[in-house]
Amino acid sequence: NILSLWIFGLLFISSSEVHGLSSIPENCMPHFVLAKELNGLAILTCNSTPDTAITWKFNDVPVENEAFGQYTTQNGPDLNLSQVDFTMFGNYSCWSEGRMLSSVYLLEIEEPEQTFLKNQAISHDGLQCKSSFCFFSCSAKRLKSCQWVTSSGPVHGGGFQFQLSHSLSPYAEENTKLEVTVEAIDDLIFDRKTKKFFLREIIQPNSPKIAKCEDVGENLMVTIEPPSNWSTPHSFFTLEHQIHYRLLDNNQDRFSSSTLIPKTASSLRVRSRDSLILSTWSQWSPWKNLTQ
């Protein structure tokens, strides 16, 4: 299943080692050339002086030895590729006197059929991202300075996840939407997506914690603690809670927005959401057994 999570400007790269593309190169964006259409023209430039004698290789094989060698011409430091097709996508490098000067990946542009990202903010302080791709980095598009960030590794359940902080004030009303640009690479196919949204639209707290249950007459008073990473002060960033409990005598399910529930409840769990913006509900907390 392809996870869907949008976040501030992302660059994703597939884990499969197709034509040597298995991680993000340094200063990655200049290393990519996009073939805008099949059977068209692509121009690759070597990082060299015009008078340097250079040779080009495709996946470490001289381009003239490739089956498509007849469709390549060299113009100074540039390599011109005509009649571009699938066999020509991959890594190209230019060499002089046995030393590699620079390399570039020729990629195909394609519109994916599915969204492969999903956005979530677990508080007003930052964002969280998951993806089915294995290598990725991201930058804050709306901020004046953009810093690329790379995922540290996979998470349980597949895909990758990372968090971004931002300089938006959680106390101020949002007037301008965040503009998110996503750039993805999978099997040498490139795609770019853009989405706009307010941070408040993607808030979903983590599950709250059931701190204690106390007898109050014929009822139980349930004390619920916000998730540890929820924005503070809690008096300003208030949460509303919902309690799901089961009755001991007939095992019926009941729901309550009050923290008072019948003492005849056998078990309960809770969830929360931002009470001001009526955000998405959190996931339910684990069930708490009241009969022990």
DSSP states of 211-246 as a string?
A: EEEEEETTEEEEEEEPPTTS-S-TTTS-EEEEEEEE
pLDDT value at residue 179: 66
Q: Each residue of 179-200: pLDDT tens digit?
A: 666 666 666 766 666 667 788 8
Q: Each residue of 56-109: pLDDT tens digit?
A: 999 888 988 888 888 888 888 889 998 888 888 888 999 999 899 988 888 877
pLDDT value at residue 176: 76
pLDDT value at residue 30: 40
pLDDT value at residue 37: 63
pLDDT value at residue 137: 39
Domains and CATH numbers, the chain: 1-202 (2.60.40.10), 209-289 (2.60.40.10)
Asked if omega into 62 is within 30° of 0 (cis), the reply is no
Nearest to residue 77, comparing CAs of 43, 41, 40?
43
Residue 183 contacts by C-beta under 8 Å, 6 or more apart in sequence? 9, 10, 11, 12, 190, 191, 192
pTM equals 0.61
Which residues of the chain carry a pLDDT beneath 70? 1-32, 35-38, 110-120, 124-168, 179-187, 189-195
pLDDT value at residue 286: 96
Taking 3-state DSSP, the helix, strand and coil percentages for the chain, each rounded to the nearest 5, stand at: 5, 45, 50
